Amino acid sequence: MNTQAIYDELLNHLPKDNIKLQHELAPYTTFKIGGPAELFVTPSNIEEVQAVLNLVNQEELPYFVLGNASNVLIDDNGLSGIVIYLGETFKDIQVEGTEITAQSGVSLNKLSRMALKHGLTGLEFAEGIPGTLGGGLYMNAGAFGGQLSNVVKQVTAIVDHQIQNYTRESMDFGYRSSTFQNQNAIILQATLALQKGDFDQIKSYMEDLKSRRTEKQPLNYPSAGSVFKRPEGYYAGKLIEDSGLKGVEIGGAKVSEKHCGFIINTGTATSRDVKELVSYIQKTVKEKFGVTLERELKYL
């Protein structure tokens, strides 16, 4: 089935406005890098997600799931197959007692603000994190000593085209890892178990974290956050700085002078620029300190 035929079939399951051909992906990423999606779909509910997956399975099409695309680098040539975008429609949030149930497209920053509004503690670390709940669970996102695995109670996901529920214990969380990375999974929603706290104390702590982010991170440039995982016994940013790489540029990609763990897009960066700079950083750090830096950034 060719692209036009797949598009026509999708029209039987999704509104026309929710299906786009050769749709540019760069605006949907925090890096502002990447070519077009062959087919770009925005499902509005679980049934539409399942319909897209059924077509994917039937035609053996490649597919990618995007939320806020805050931890990915999309190739300059774009992506073939179908991109399933959940960053606009899957945003429902419900609060009951000390639990928050939210769909995967909700940003972690918004969730932290919702927790604050209801006087719930446990999500303060998510203040300022641009990624979505779905992406955050996929990689067990965290900051400032907190991580999602500490507060998640249950997750609903589509795995191999079947809806499944996971408990915290069954998600096999590790540092920047989860069971979802080893499965063909699309996270739909999750329930977070928090605790009652003091509103003023929660707000003060979140304001402190926001100030620390602003002070230490290059938030005025497009980036994908920390490029590398923290190597055991070290900090990636310090290793990069101590290797003399602060401010090093390849094309439009640059090692941030504010935080060397970040690569920023100075305005004209391509995915090739970023990949070459990542490789150069890894090679240099390995030569100088014998430490292998593992990417946190995902290549699509």
Options 48, 124, 127, 296, the catalytic residue:
296
Query: Residue 265 forms beta bridges with which residues?
Result: 253
Beta strands in the chain (DSSP E): 19-24, 36-41, 63-66, 72-73, 79-85, 93-96, 99-103, 120-121, 142-143, 146-147, 152-159, 162-167, 185-193, 195-196, 223-226, 249-250, 253-255, 262-265, 298-299
* Contact status, residue 254 vs residue 263, Cβ threshold 8 Å: yes
CB atoms within 10 A of CB 97: 10
The one catalytic residue in 226, 243, 256, 271 is: 226
Structure tokens belonging to residue 279: 């490789």
For tokens 């699309």, name the residue: 186
Tokens of 50: 């399942």
Q: Distance of alpha carbon 95 from its chain centroid, rounded?
A: 23
Catalytic residue status for 272? no
- The span from the CA of 130 to the CA of 136, in Å, is 10
Cβ neighbours, 10 Å, residue 15: 11
Catalytic residue among 176, 223, 243, 271: 176
Cβ neighbourhood burial of 79 (10 Å; 0-12, 13-18, 19+): buried
Active site residue 256: no
Q: Is 296 a catalytic residue?
A: yes
- Residues labelled catalytic: 176, 226, 296
